[in-house]
Structure formats: structure tokens, C-alpha cells
Structure 1
Amino acid sequence: MKTPVQHDNKMMEAMHAMMQEMSNASLHGDPDNHFARMMQLHHAGALNMGNLVLEHNGDPAMAEMVKTMMQKQKEEIAALQLFLNNHRPMPHTEHAGFNTEMKKVMDNMDLLAEQENLTGDPDQDFATLMVHHHQAAIEMADLVIGHGADPAIKKMAGMIKTDQEAEIQWLQKWLNERRGIH
């Protein structure tokens, strides 16, 4: 159940908008194609959330991290689009197990985000939600690494996973410092 803060929370609204986009996306295609399209939408959601942090003009360290993250994700969106432009999946190449697992990852991210007690502070809420957001990206990357066929998309998934793991560590450290946890 949403708390009043979460209901009117711009960061949560951006997260929900991303989830809606991902839910509406076609699940047709092989795991490589599916991953590339879903990760584009996932990154676009992170960009929208990051813009809320930058508009807020709060913690300078958070703003710098967000700018760095956004630059990487813009580059990855472009690379994913290039992959999609050049990778035409054969008809009937869907992988039902992959699609089911991808949906579970998204549903879990949404569930965990809904359970968070958001504050209304864009920096704090971004960090809190982005931990779950990035964890979902890591799980998506693991899925395509395990089920995909294209070496280039598997390599990109590995790089996304590495970047997101490092960002989660940074975000958790930032959150812990604000909570007085060392």
C-alpha cells in the first residue's frame, strides 16, 4: 500500500512511468533483442529519475554521481539501439522461460520500491529507489548472459552489471552516511 508521501512522490511517479513503459513493451524476440529493448526502457527511466535529482539542486556529490550515471546510460541506450537496428530476430524465437524470468525481475523491483518509506527529498528517494532499480538491471543482465546468444550484447550486459554494482555500493554508502550508519 502506498503512503501519502509515496503517492505524490515525483521519484516514485517516474519509477511507475518506467514500469508502465516496460509492461507495455513487446516481449517478442529472442533474449538478446528482448534484453536490449527492456534495458533501453529501464535506462530511460533512470534518466528521468536522475533529471529530478539534478532539478532539485541538492547534494553536490549526488548530483555528480547522477551526471556520471546518466552519461554512461545515454551511451548504453545508443549502443542498445544500434544493436536493435542491426539485430533482427527470426520469427518465433521467443524464449518463454526468459520472458517469465524478466517479468519476475520487474515485478520484484516494483514490489521492493513500493515497500520503501520515501521522504520526498529527491536525493534520498533517488538513492533509495535506484538501489532496487540497479539490482533489477543486474538480474536482467544475468538473464541475458545465461540465455542470450549474441557475444556483443552479453559483453554489454556484463559491463552494465559491473557499473550498476559499483553504483549500488556508492548509493548504499551515501544512504548509510545520511542515516548515521557507518
Structure 2
Amino acid sequence: MKKLFRLPLLALALASASLLTASCSKDDSDSLAVQAHDQNAMMSIMHDMMKKMDAMPKTQDPDQDYSMMMVMHHQGAIDMSELELKDGKDPQMRDLATRIIAAQKAEIARFNTFLAGHKIETPLVPAFNARQKMAMEKMMRANDLRVITGNTDRDFAQLMQDHHQSAIETSQAILDLGRHAETKALGQQIIDSQMMEIKEMQEWLLKNKGY
């Protein structure tokens, strides 16, 4: 009686293993390839950008520190977008990269103009730097949790979302703690435009995630 009971179970187990093997070995557009983070060019840009921002001297003047930091942060987005234009193939993501480069170069110019005419002001506001640091650390944790595929279009869409989100959170901090109309206007512009771009990347990934 026991032998008769075991045979169907054994057959079921073998059938399940066969189906799992076939599924895992499937080599088509639904399969998921993974690339080590330290081998990914997009991730390298993110880490290099973070090192530069960490090394930036903090003045505790929110408008000064926001402007200096966003120049570095925007340059990271430009570098990632240029890599997308170099290696990416999807027309929509390439178009987005072109738009990001144009918008963020223009914003860098406005930040630099502000910095050229600005003198550090008191009272100091250390709360801004605390919020900025929190946003950037959150960005890098989110990046490190991403499944990186080595597909430039997908990696760009994934990592740029985290990059944009940190800019949005830091820009909200300048709206709350900043003192100057120009930095606040730039902060609101960044929030509005990058929220729309995050939505575009999310919708694209839902259609093109590859698994």
C-alpha cells in the first residue's frame, strides 16, 4: 500500500522539476538577465556623483548648498543620459535622455548664475543639509536594490527614477527652508518636470521590463 502511494508522489515531483527547469532555462524576451552593479556603467556614474556631493563643503546656507549640490546632481543625470544616447536603442528612452540633457543644462546655467551673485547668509539652517543627505542616501539604497540587467534602456529608466526622486525631495526641502525666489522657482520647476518624467519611465518599464 505504501509503495503504491509513493509512486504518484515521485512522478509528480519529477514532473514539477521538469517544468521548473524548462521555465528557468527559457531563453526569450521574458527571461531576466542580471549584471553585477560594479560592472554597470550607469551605476558607476551614480556612485561617482555621490562621492563628489559627499565631498562638497557644506555652508549650512540652504540656497547656497542646494545650488552647489544640484549642479553636481544634474551633471550626473546628464552623464547618464549621454550614456543612454550612446548605447541605448529605444526611441522613447533616447528622446527622454535628450530632453533631460537640455533641461538640466539650462537649470545648471541658472544655478551657476545664482551662485555667482550670492553671498552666504545667516542664520544657518542645518536642517536643510540633513534632509538633503537623507534624500541622497535613500537614492543610493534604492539604486543598490535595483535588479540591473545590462540593458542600457532598462537600466536608464530604473536608475533615473531614483535619481529624480532624490532631486524632488531635495527641492521640496528648499521650498520649505530656502530664502530666495530663484532657488525656490528652480526647485518647483524640478519637482513638476521630474515627477512627469518618473511617470513616463514607470509606464515604459511596465511595457518593456523584459520579465
Q: Deviations over 1:134-171 (max 9, x none)?
A: 00000011000000010111011001110100100011
Q: RMSD between aligned alpha carbons?
A: 1.5
1:178 alignment partner in structure 2 = 208
Q: Percent identity?
A: 34
Shift of 1:94: 3.1
8 Å CA contact retained: 2:71, 2:111: yes
> Quick check: 1:155 aligned with 2:185?
yes
For residues 12-161 of structure 1, the aligned pairs below 5 Å read 12-90=43-121, 93-161=123-191
Change (3 A) 1:45 1:33: same
Q: What's the TM-score, normalizing by structure 2?
A: 0.81
Q: Distance in 2 between matches of 1:57 and 1:144?
A: 34
Q: Which runs of 5+ in 2 are unaligned?
A: 1-33
The 4+ residue runs of structure 1 with deviation greater than 3 A are: none
8 Å CA contact retained: 2:35, 2:149: no
Q: Deviations over 1:82-121 (max 9, x none)?
A: 000011113x643111111111111110111001110011
SS in 1 for 2:36: helix
Q: Deviations over 1:7-56 (max 9, x none)?
A: 10000000101111111111114101111111111100001111110111
8 Å CA contact retained: 2:178, 2:184: yes
Q: Distance in 2 between matches of 1:180 and 1:122?
A: 13
Q: How many matched pairs? A: 178
